[in-house]
Structure 1
Amino acid sequence: MEIDDVNMSGVHKNIEQDVVEQILSTLPPKTLMRFKCVSKRWYALITNPRFVAKHLSISKHNNRSTPSVLLKRLVHKDNNTDSETQAVFSLLKFRNNIDGGGEAHSFLSGVEDIDIPSSLSLKTGGSSLHIIGHCNEIICLVPAVSGEVILWNPAIHEFKPLPPQPYLPNSPEIIGTLPGWPKDVPYSIHREYMDSLGFGYDPRSDDYKVVNIGYPCLERSLDGYRINFPLKTAVYTLSTDSWREMKTFSLETQSTILFPDRFQMYFKGMCYWSGLELHKEVHLFDAMEEEFIRNIIILFDMGDEVFHDMLLPGSLSDPFEVSFNMRLLVWNESIALFGLESENSPYGVSFGIWVIDEFDGPKTPWTKHICFELNEKPLAFLNSDEILMEVIKDTSGRLFSYNLSTKTLKYLPIDSVQNDSAAVVYGNYSIVSILGGNKLENKDNSTNAGFSLFEYSFPPSRSMVDNEWHSYSVWAIPPDDVSLKIKKVMQALRLEFGGPEIEPHITVVGSIRMTQENALNEFRSLQSCVTSGYKAKVNQVVTRSFYYQCVLLVIDSSFSSDDESFELCGATGACGRCFGFHNSVRPHLSLLYGNLTEEERRKAKEKISILDKSITGMSFPITRLALHKIDYKDKTLKSWEKIAEYTLLYFD
């Protein structure tokens, strides 16, 4: 009996502990922070990583019906409408409600201004803070002046300034070149324009990370080209409290770079930016207006630490379209894209919403769901039918909610919003510490930005964007004897420095994104535009820090009176225009692909002179153009294939 009594006592004790844990896991952070002082056992429980993850999961579920939005707004001092304004962070608390008119809108039940700790204000020098992103109720901030990155958990009053990162050097090409930028302030401080920060959670390593992407460094060549060099990127890891440099070869194609411009959100292990695809090299005559190729979405896998890119639907990919309100949000646990619907509304007075229902990599198709007649700034989904938006037609910064089902809007009775900061769907319930001690163990860590309170009540208008888009490139093929000569040099370089086997070619058009059928049709039409062969003359051997332009022969494309240069420029330009490019790729022939150091590239360049000095000044005819399907993620080139070719008429 005594043994049974002991066993029953242990069972009762375990049951009691389970009940206490279950009760505590439903309490708000403010209460739990006080309860840590009750006993050592409660302190150990509340700071236990398993409990932190359980509390976060329960809180997310319980707060779905009562969304709150954290944003920055301008309020008048001393409640006087004539007084000066100041920026404050406010938590807007909503309740689901049917108003007197019978239209479904969430009810604004309260506005709570969140105090910034005085120590944080001193740390930032009192400058305005900007919201970069959020994940698991942790918010990433950047002061307007100092540029220091700060992590903040308002629920438990923790903030953490991150250490300075040394991997994005200042660029003398950029400092002070735009109006209003102080010349004595490093360019890395101007994050809104110069650096693209991202913040999220890595479920593989159970850690939080900040990604900092610097602006591409520029160089002007002697023959009139501007070169956009690879982006500098640094990654901060919370567990080590340190930055490290990261290679960005996944942000380049054969002839372009992918530039993450504006951070949009974190969702299920991925960071998302709206971005641009730029030419690596563009002639200065075209640089101001022809440098941009297309708008894209750029993703960063927080676990693999690899960038991917995703095409946008329809005309949203055109960089010359007015798409300043393009926005990514989470809607019903799917990725939703807001963009100006120029097809139905050429003056930009309506929005289209496209959705990725099941994400399956960068080629996942967009489905068009709805178009509504508003040209305002979307901030966040309050529920599956309702969007919080900001008026941008004037400077009032007023907020309103828009119901997708009833197509009605309702203005909110609050002061204006400061439009330089993002809005965060925020529950104020996370006890995840950013100062260490309770790494999150829950592996299902999507942001709480989407809700499923209502079924989508009207059928979507399905307009699928073809998910079989590939990358294509047009190559000019040297004669067989020239190719053999070049291959010998390539092989010798490859034996010493590594890299894949390259078929000798001059890149004429790169980064063509379309279906194979369309690519073949355009290539067939090219045969009536470019019919005559032309000569290619090697100008010089150069090296680059790009993978696909590691060591290359630059082909003379100067705008001189030389007949050969004119013929080459004319043919190259015609090829680019045929595939929809405003300007052409700088003609080049790569001898080596690879991730070489500066010293290794210098040695490779010297080795070319030893192997075959004549290669640096040779001239040869171009009599064939070929269309190749390429996968620039495949650095081995094994998946690259030629799908069409035609012969040019050439008379020496």
Structure 2
Amino acid sequence: MFHQDLLTDILLRLPAKSLLRFKCVSKHWLSLISSPQFRRRRLRLASSGIILCQTTDLIHHTSVAGSHSDPPFTSLSFIGDSAGMKILQSSYGLLLCCSSLHKRGKRRSYYICNPSTQQFSTLPEADCENISKTIYGVYLTFDSSKLPDHYQVASVRSCSSPSSPSSNSFQIVTYSSKTRAWRISGSPFIAPDMVFDNGVLWNGSIHWISPTGDSFRFDTDQERLGTMPSLQSNEKWSNKRLRYFGESGGHLHLIEIYGSATQFYVFEMERDYSSWVPKYHVDIAAIIDAFPVMIRNYPDATDSVFYAFSLLFVKEDEEDSFLLLHVPGEFLLYNLRNGTFKKLGPISTEANVAFQIGCFHAYQFRETLADV
């Protein structure tokens, strides 16, 4: 029993690529590495990293802890989509991706992939009555620590029925990896002016922020739509910008910036949905001083400036609380607890790739052996 425990402890600390090879050592090793218990334990031990990518190309993978190691993957070319790939979401080691470019006469394809094992599955088209094939938003629900190798995909579609004749009527359809089929989930709902491509999964629900009206959440277990409070502000709607909306470490974060402010708050939603509370105060004045290239002038305006930067990721847990920013030519880590900042480090990229503001996306990633 001691040798079995020792072997397990050693294997748990190996990268996914090595474990895939070691499955061939013996039937015993194959059974051990493939077991749900092993996969759950390994997911808990796996360190989190951040992948930085452009629309179609993976740019960099960095460790949250600051350690340097070989990236778990450098490309999604194994999927073989000639239109290129776009990452939409990362969830416990699985990626939800889609074709990057539309081809005339061909619908965009959607994939669930495990880049660590280079496995992928193409999502079939949803064929549900009175449901449009037009996709307004799509979301992956996966947690192998609870249900190994089982995931769901929720998609927001427009719908038409006697009970919901409005042009703003929507319906959520859900795909299950168990049944390999889509089904209607919940009831139709009205959502004027809602943008569904900014959904965030947290607290068992998918959340959307509306620029003008009510913000919604959809409970994936209860299949029930609800609302959540908006961020209260005395600023005019035209003067505020939603700059970040995401989840980290069991926390739902939102950042709005008003005008050309150099100070703002990271807000966190209470778990009972009672309100947004200011969690961290951010002051980027020192960053602007260090990187004056951030200062830009509005066209045809006098004495009016703005600051070129993107907020890519908020990371919060017991050990770390930081904000990942992209300024022209650099990626920075801003410590939310003490206000200091540092360069993320050298980013390996093609020489012809310009570090344009707003063209990068960041996703948390940890290796998993889950099948798709």
Letter in 1 for 2:266: I
**2:313 aligned with 1:352:** no
**CA shift for structure 1 position 337:** 1.4
Match of 2:157 in 1: 214
Shift of the 95–263 alpha-carbon distance from structure 1 to 2, 3 Å rule, reads closer
User: Which digits, 9 at most, give the CA deviation of each residue in 1:67-119, with x for residues without a partner?
Assistant: 52113238xxxxxxxxxxxx4213422475xxxxxxxxx5877778613244x
**2:187 aligned with 1:263:** no
Aligned length: 331
In the alignment, the residues of structure 1 paired with residue 234 and residue 130 of structure 2 have an alpha-carbon distance, to the nearest angstrom, of 33
In the alignment, the residues of structure 2 paired with residue 216 and residue 160 of structure 1 have an alpha-carbon distance, to the nearest angstrom, of 26
Match of 2:38 in 1: 51
Per the alignment, in what secondary structure is the counterpart of residue 8 of structure 2? Answer: helix
TM-score by length of 1: 0.45
Shift of the 69–406 alpha-carbon distance from structure 1 to 2, 3 Å rule, reads same
In the alignment, the residues of structure 1 paired with residue 13 and residue 129 of structure 2 have an alpha-carbon distance, to the nearest angstrom, of 43
**2:365 aligned with 1:433:** no
Kept in 2: contact 1:208–1:238 (CA 8 A): yes
Residues 290-369 of structure 1: pairs in structure 2 closer than 5 A: 293-294=212-213, 296=215, 298-315=216-233, 320-330=238-248, 333-340=250-257, 342=258, 346-356=259-269, 359-360=271-272, 362-369=273-280
User: Which digits, 9 at most, give the CA deviation of each residue in 1:231-260, with x for residues without a partner?
Assistant: 0321111111111122334x45xxx66845
Residues 213-232 of structure 1: pairs in structure 2 closer than 5 A: 213-215=156-158, 227-232=166-171
In the alignment, the residues of structure 2 paired with residue 46 and residue 157 of structure 1 have an alpha-carbon distance, to the nearest angstrom, of 17
Kept in 2: contact 1:234–1:243 (CA 8 A): yes
Residues 388-427 of structure 1: pairs in structure 2 closer than 5 A: 388-391=324-327, 398-404=330-336, 405-410=338-343, 412-414=345-347, 415=349, 416=354, 419=358, 422-427=361-366
Shift of the 169–350 alpha-carbon distance from structure 1 to 2, 3 Å rule, reads farther
Kept in 1: contact 2:263–2:281 (CA 8 A): no
Match of 1:40 in 2: 27
Which consecutive aligned stretches of 4+ in structure 1 deviate over 6 angstroms post-superposition?
107-113, 168-171, 202-206
Residues 412-561 of structure 1: pairs in structure 2 closer than 5 A: 412-414=345-347, 415=349, 416=354, 419=358, 422-427=361-366, 429-434=367-372
Kept in 1: contact 2:50–2:64 (CA 8 A): no
In the alignment, the residues of structure 2 paired with residue 117 and residue 413 of structure 1 have an alpha-carbon distance, to the nearest angstrom, of 24
In the alignment, the residues of structure 1 paired with residue 151 and residue 14 of structure 2 have an alpha-carbon distance, to the nearest angstrom, of 24
Per the alignment, in what secondary structure is the counterpart of residue 20 of structure 2? Answer: helix
Match of 2:210 in 1: 275
Kept in 1: contact 2:138–2:153 (CA 8 A): yes
Q: Which has the higher strand share?
A: 2
**CA shift for structure 1 position 312:** 2.1
Match of 1:372 in 2: 283
Which one has the largest radius of gyration? 1
Per the alignment, in what secondary structure is the counterpart of residue 156 of structure 1? Answer: coil
Shift of the 299–205 alpha-carbon distance from structure 1 to 2, 3 Å rule, reads farther
Letter in 2 for 1:142: C
Shift of the 322–267 alpha-carbon distance from structure 1 to 2, 3 Å rule, reads same
**CA shift for structure 1 position 204:** 7.7
Task: Structure 2 unaligned segments of length 5 or more: list them.
Answer: 286-306
Letter in 1 for 2:125: P
**CA shift for structure 1 position 152:** 1.2
Over the matched positions of the two proteins, sequence identity in percent amounts to 18
Match of 1:139 in 2: 95
Task: Structure 1 unaligned segments of length 5 or more: list them.
Answer: 1-13, 75-86, 97-105, 172-186, 219-225, 277-292, 435-652
Q: Which has the higher helix share?
A: 1
Per the alignment, in what secondary structure is the counterpart of residue 303 of structure 1? Answer: coil
Per the alignment, in what secondary structure is the counterpart of residue 266 of structure 1? Answer: strand
In the alignment, the residues of structure 2 paired with residue 263 and residue 303 of structure 1 have an alpha-carbon distance, to the nearest angstrom, of 20
Per the alignment, in what secondary structure is the counterpart of residue 27 of structure 1? Answer: coil
In the alignment, the residues of structure 1 paired with residue 246 and residue 340 of structure 2 have an alpha-carbon distance, to the nearest angstrom, of 21
TM-score by length of 2: 0.75
Per the alignment, in what secondary structure is the counterpart of residue 40 of structure 2? Answer: helix
Per the alignment, in what secondary structure is the counterpart of residue 327 of structure 1? Answer: strand
Per chain length, whose mean CA-contact separation is higher, i.e. which structure has more relative contact order (CA < 8 Å, sep 6+)?
A: 2
**2:25 aligned with 1:92:** no
